[in-house]
Amino acid sequence: MTTAPPLALSVRDLAFAYPDGRQVLYGVDLDVARGERVAMLGPNGAGKTTLVLHLNGILSPGRGEVRVDGLVVGPDTRREVRRRVGIVFQDPDDQLFMPTVAEDVAFGPANLGVTGADLRRCVDRALEQVAMSGFGDRSPHHLSFGQRRRVAVATVLAMQPQILVLDEPSSNLDPASRRELADIVRSLPVSVLMVTHDLPYAAELCSRSVLLDAGQVVAARPTAELLADTELLGAHRLELPYGFEPTRLSGCYGEPVAGAARDQ
Amino acid sequence: MSGSHGDGHGDGLHVPGHTVVHHVPAHAALLGVVAFVLVVVATPATEPLAYAGYALLLGAAVVLAGLAPALVLKRMVVEVPFVVFALLVPFVAAGPRVEVLGVAVSQPGLVDAGALLAKATLGVVAAIVLSATQHPRALLLGLSRLRVPDLVVTIAGFMFRYTQVVLDEMRRMRVAREARGFEATSVRQAKVLAQSAGALFIRSYERGERVHLAMLSRGWDGAMPALTDLRRETVRRGAWLPAAVLPLAALAVLTVQLTTSRGLAP
Ligand SMILES: Nc1ncnc2c1ncn2[C@@H]1O[C@H](COP(=O)(O)OP(=O)(O)OP(=O)(O)O)[C@@H](O)[C@H]1O
Ligand SMILES: [Mg+2]
């Protein structure tokens, strides 16, 4: 027995092929420590979303395993795993299906058996966390895209997950919403795995990055270091925006978040 | 009114307003319309005056609700298939024939077609008034107040929510077509429209799959959780009265008609 606490998330040698025979993941390894924020970078079709769907047991690995806080993801643990891992999908319209925002946010906790006043408190708090209090009675299709994205985050926060998985959270957001979402993510006491093509966003939020291409982890390094390797990025169809200077990044995510949150 | 209801306007078919009709609680309005339609359906085809009476009642409701007649007419377009069907009935039905504009048609068929058309029209207009004066959300709440099973209410809610998503998708596809110079003016372009419809179906289907995954991710195990405690509502006393007036008046019309026509026929 080691004294180290179990990792928030650990993926070991994960391989997966879709039922149509298409092999998408070829032995992926990935770790997220408690309180750590990790970015998963990679070109279109790399298998990022496919990997995400393994993290709460929606897809089952062909080989290898996924552990959440030490718990192996499988049919028996699925319920508990889905409580611990909150996934925010790429398109908020996929996630918001109830007639009102409040009911949508309530959907997850209600599935976990929360009822009555507790349920309402849960909903109010989640909406407050994403600065959407007062929108509870609105229907999702009357919100702007950025607002819908925030509500989608709230639907997941309401379940009080230990790990937040965000699939391309900054896509389609205007600069202000993008920054506000970053503030929200930064303020949460959870581990985060963020899938993104938005390299500055990864640099801003995540101390460590994993580069996935063609179903394999090509690199796993501190974000600033990975982004400084333009050759590596170029080889995997990733580009820094014009004028962005990764060497000046060091420490821009402020305090060593991972360490600080690990103490809690 | 913005605060409590949230959505400003144009939600589904809802036309916001502050009339007595708008203030009827949704469950009462639903019951009122169902009762009215039952009376209409129960009226024998041989009582044309009764249908005229119902039409007047509905006309009054439209005026009271402050709805523009043009809007009501436009929404009546959904009735077109009924009209076509009703027009066919006299030609295919059996029985004694009468001449209409030089063509021999079935007399009972003509009466049946007229009654069918009248019933369909009255039902459609009643539904138009209901959907224009009640917020879709309120209607869903009304259903659950009427003890309609939660599952049914939830499915109706889903349908409402995703109709909006599919409509949005349709609008985007139309914009995409038109941005590239497409105008639906001749039948030859029907092929493009048919292809768009196919694409829309596939998109909606795939959307359904993704929604399902998102639901599973939030711990859904096949049973809809009860969310009724999140629903709050306030109802003014007596606000339901107008909903009762419509079917009761219709019933009165029917009774009067039936007794007078019996009385006249020895
Ligand atoms: N349901 C499916 N059945 C078969 N193949 C699939 C399915 N979903 C995805 N794929 C394939 O798996 C591969 C990886 O897809 P995935 O969605 O994981 O990529 P991604 O890294 O998330 O890409 P993007 O950045 O575009 O979101 C792609 O080649 C895709 O065509
Ligand atoms: Mg993806």
CATH of the domain at A51: 3.40.50.300
Which of A16, A24, A53 has the most ligand 1 atoms within 8 A of CB, as the residue to mutate? A24
Instruction: Give me the domain span that covers residue A79.
Output: 7-249
Backbone angles phi and psi of A86, in degrees to 5: -105, 120
* pLDDT range class, residue A190, cuts 50, 70, 90: very high
**Residue B4 to residue A137, Cβ atoms within 8 A:** yes
Q: Could you report the per-residue pLDDT of B20-76, keeping only the tens digit for each?
A: 888 888 889 999 999 999 999 888 888 888 999 999 999 999 999 999 998 888 888
Buried b / exposed e across B80-105, counting CB within 10 Å, b at 16+?
eebbeebeebbeebeeeeeeeeeeeb
A2: in domain: no
Q: Is B216 on the interface with A (CB under 8 A)?
A: yes
Q: What is the pLDDT of residue A261?
A: 40
Check if A82 has its Cβ closer than 6 Å to any atom of ligand 1: no
Q: Write out the two tokens for B74.
A: 């436009």
Q: Which residues contact B155 (CB under 8 A, 6 or more apart)?
A: none
Residue B187 has a CB neighbour count (10 Å cut-off) of 7
| Range scoring the smallest mean pLDDT among A8-22, B129-143, B199-213, B219-233 | B219-233
Could you give the CA distance from residue B36 to residue B32 in angstroms, rounded to a whole number?
6
* pTM for the model: 0.71
Residue B79 in contact with partner chain A when CB distance is under 8 A: no
Contact B217 A111 (CB under 8 A): no
> pLDDT tens digits for B4-30?
333 334 567 788 888 888 888 888 999
Q: Please compute the mean of the pLDDT values over residues B103-112 and round it to a whole number.
A: 74
Residue A32 or B158, more confident: A32
A260: in domain: no
**Mean pLDDT over residues A143-163, rounded?**
91
Establish if B218 touches chain A: CB-CB under 8 angstroms. Answer: yes
Residue of A nearest to B2 (CA): A138
Q: What would the pLDDT profile of B91-106 be if each residue is shown by its tens digit?
A: 766 667 676 766 677 7
The whole-number pLDDT of residue A50 equals 93
